[in-house]
Amino acid sequence: MLAGDVDKKWSEDLAEDQPLFGDDADKISSNLRDVASGAYVLTALFAPSPTVQDKFKGISVGVATAALDGVVSYSLKEVVGRERPDGSNDRSMPSGHASKAASRTHMARRNLSYIDMPAWSRQTLNVSLHAVAISTGLARVEARKHHLADVLVGYALGNFLAGFMYEAFLESDMDGPQISFQAVDQGGAFTLTLPLH
């Protein structure tokens, strides 16, 4: 059996049986994505920072990651043009819900590593965050909004983008890229500075 056949069969089986989320899968997938976003916001606020500038930088990287995730997911949907299982449009690949949930929970897990708490609490929260991201994707399959492969690609994309942004802008020991934000009339401007050495 080819990979495409497996993807189709498993996606159809999940959508038909709806073993986890039932008829509310679509609504639950959006709720879980929102839980992932809330987890990121809470951990970003509670993660200790030496200065207000460092706190602002961390939150700016989170906002930039969310924006990048949205742009990349949307662009890939335009290029790939895969039809959704419910036939509603050709924006199935990758799953934006899965990508958003994966990137937000990845950032939340990174933030948790800086918060003082017992190891068992941190581990429990990390496992829970993984479960939120994975469940978001599975709910999208059960809701017939995505094929299983769409969800897997979205999950990988979100994790990659969040990991890249954190490594590049927050956890690098070398003089490297810098991101900053400046308020302007009716909005703001992000500035990305890359060293040329």
What are the extents of the domains in the chain?
3-193
Among 16, 14, 110, CA closest to 58: 110
Q: List per-residue pLDDT tens for the chain, 197 residues long.
A: 456 788 889 999 989 999 999 999 999 999 999 999 999 999 999 999 889 988 999 999 999 999 999 999 999 999 999 999 999 999 999 999 999 999 999 999 999 999 999 999 999 999 999 999 999 999 999 999 999 999 999 999 999 999 999 888 887 654 666 667 777 777 777 777 665 54
**pTM for this model (two decimals):** 0.83
DSSP 186: T
CB atoms within 10 A of CB 54: 13
Instruction: Please give the CATH number for the structural domain made up of 3-193.
Output: 1.20.144
